[in-house]
Amino acid sequence: MGDVRLMKGNEVIAEAAIRCGCDGYFGYPITPQSEIMETLMIRRPEEETGMVVLQAESEVAAINMVYGGASCGKKVMTSSSSPGISLKAEGITYLAGAELPALIVNIVRGGPGLGTIQPAQSDYFQAVKGGGHGDYKLIVLAPASVQEMNDFVDLGFELSFKYLNPAMILSDGVIGQMMEKVELADYKPRWTDEEIEKISGSWATNGKKAGSERNISTSLDLDSAKQEVFNHKLQAKYRAMEENDVRYEKFECDDAEYLFVAYGSSARICQKSVELAREKGIKVGLLRPITLFPYPTKQIQEMLGQVKGILSVEMSAGQMVEDVRLAVNGKVPVEHFGRYGGIIPTPEEVVEALEEKILGK
């Protein structure tokens, strides 16, 4: 066993960033995720790995620093919570439009507006369906444990460089604020200039090499014909993500007659609900999407021969349930159960909702 510690989800994000060879973090304080930047400031990675950590003047500036750093072929990231992510939406769509890799962490809190600082999952649409303008997608990873907070930092960078597309870790105050046992990854050195040249030389704006074309990091093309071709390319990339990089987990699904679909902290709660429901003789399983985009549509469809009804459980008024319904396409009843505004549902409540909304039918 490697370096095992008891850590908060937010602290782990910072630690994982340092250890995975991240080059730069640019952030702005907002509850409930300020520990990420605070931990980085305490750790002084500048001295250890050379990683740059900067508190920006605003979320807007922070995401644009990420755009600048990503343009150089560097591994850069930012983190925020819901209202801050709304501010970053502009920079995020520019990153997608310029095909730049970057990692954005959203420790979601309840909204709309300033909302609450308590956990919620009401930014699903924003993360998965857009948020900024234009036809773009983020790679969205939804950790359900502190260990996954650790693992998905590296994975997020890996996928974002694989597809040259920004990736988001969509978590919430439950996972961000709780402590669990975590096995930290070994240190990976930051990429050298030579490695960056090899990996990103064809697009990184780190100085025009003699004898080669200059690189331009831009999302602008005033020629509509070219812009359409570019959009086709983006769409093909998103289809490739759907083909190759769907991640999910099944829990007690083998004999399941009913199914919970839930991600992140709700999936943890539903795991308990599965235990409680099975004590009552209800054969229910859990399908946990790990990637929210690309979404495990096929995996839900594969369950349809077996399950009689699906309950989508989210800390929102019903967002992911739309993707479940699209997958199910009317073949079995799909209902939503959610608490929101910062209220976390209890495992017991979820079982009651299953009984009332699905079994009761």
CA 252, 258, 264: angle at the middle one, nearest 5? 60
Rounded Cα distance between 290 and 304, Å, is 20
Q: Within positions 189 to 248, which residues make up the interface with other proteins, using CB under 8 A?
A: 205-210, 214-220
User: Among residues 174 and 328, whose Cβ is nearest to other proteins?
Assistant: 174
In the shown chain, the binding pattern of residues 159 to 178 toward other proteins, with x for contact by CB under 8 A and - for none, equals --------------xx--xx
Rounded Cα distance between 325 and 144, Å, is 23
State the minimum distance, in angstroms, from the CB of residue 302 to other proteins.
24
**What is the bridge-based pairing of β-strands 139-141 and 167-172?**
parallel
C-alpha distances in angstroms, 307 versus 59, 140, 240, 258?
A: 44, 27, 29, 5
H or E segment at 54? strand 52-55
Judged by CB under 8 A, the residue of 197, 249, 322, 349 near other proteins is: 349
User: Among residues 180 and 195, whose Cβ is nearest to other proteins?
Assistant: 180
* Contact flag: residue 71 with other proteins (CB under 8 A): yes
Rounded Cα distance between 63 and 70, Å, is 10
* Contact flag: residue 346 with other proteins (CB under 8 A): yes
Q: Which structure tokens are listed for 215?
A: 């690189």
Q: Which structure tokens are listed for 114?
A: 């300033």
Q: List, in sequence order, every residue forming a beta bridge with 141; answer none if it has no partner.
A: 169, 291
C-alpha distances in angstroms, 266 versus 50, 143, 331?
A: 37, 11, 24
* Contact flag: residue 344 with other proteins (CB under 8 A): yes
First to last CA, the chain: 48
State the minimum distance, in angstroms, from the CB of residue 147 to other proteins.
10
Which one, of 310, 327, 102, 95, lies nearest residue 218 by Cα?
A: 95
User: Among residues 24 and 338, whose Cβ is nearest to other proteins?
Assistant: 24
* Contact flag: residue 347 with other proteins (CB under 8 A): yes
State the minimum distance, in angstroms, from the CB of residue 237 to other proteins.
20
Q: How many residues bind other proteins (CB under 8 A)?
A: 66
Rounded Cα distance between 196 and 250, Å, is 37
State the minimum distance, in angstroms, from the CB of residue 247 to other proteins.
18
Judged by CB under 8 A, the residue of 106, 118, 160, 312 near other proteins is: 118
User: Among residues 106 and 217, whose Cβ is nearest to other proteins?
Assistant: 217
Judged by CB under 8 A, the residue of 4, 114, 240, 326 near other proteins is: 4
User: Among residues 54 and 185, whose Cβ is nearest to other proteins?
Assistant: 54
* Contact flag: residue 287 with other proteins (CB under 8 A): no
Cis peptide before 32 (omega within 30 of 0): yes
User: Among residues 318 and 347, whose Cβ is nearest to other proteins?
Assistant: 347
* Contact flag: residue 77 with other proteins (CB under 8 A): no
State the minimum distance, in angstroms, from the CB of residue 139 to other proteins.
21
Q: Within positions 32 to 51, which residues make up the interface with other proteins, using CB under 8 A?
A: 32
In the DSSP assignment, the letter for residue 359 is: I
Judged by CB under 8 A, the residue of 29, 38, 68, 188 near other proteins is: 68
The piece of 72-80, 157-165, 295-303, 329-337 that touches other proteins (CB under 8 A) is: 72-80
Rounded Cα distance between 98 and 108, Å, is 26
Judged by CB under 8 A, the residue of 66, 234, 310, 311 near other proteins is: 66
- What is the side-by-side strand order in the sheet with 248-251? 248-251, 284-289, 258-261, 309-314, 334-338
Residues found near other proteins in the complex (CB under 8 A): 4-6, 23-24, 26, 31-32, 52, 54, 56-58, 60-62, 64-69, 71-72, 74, 76, 90-91, 94, 98, 117-118, 173-174, 177-181, 205-210, 214-220, 265, 268-275, 344, 346-349
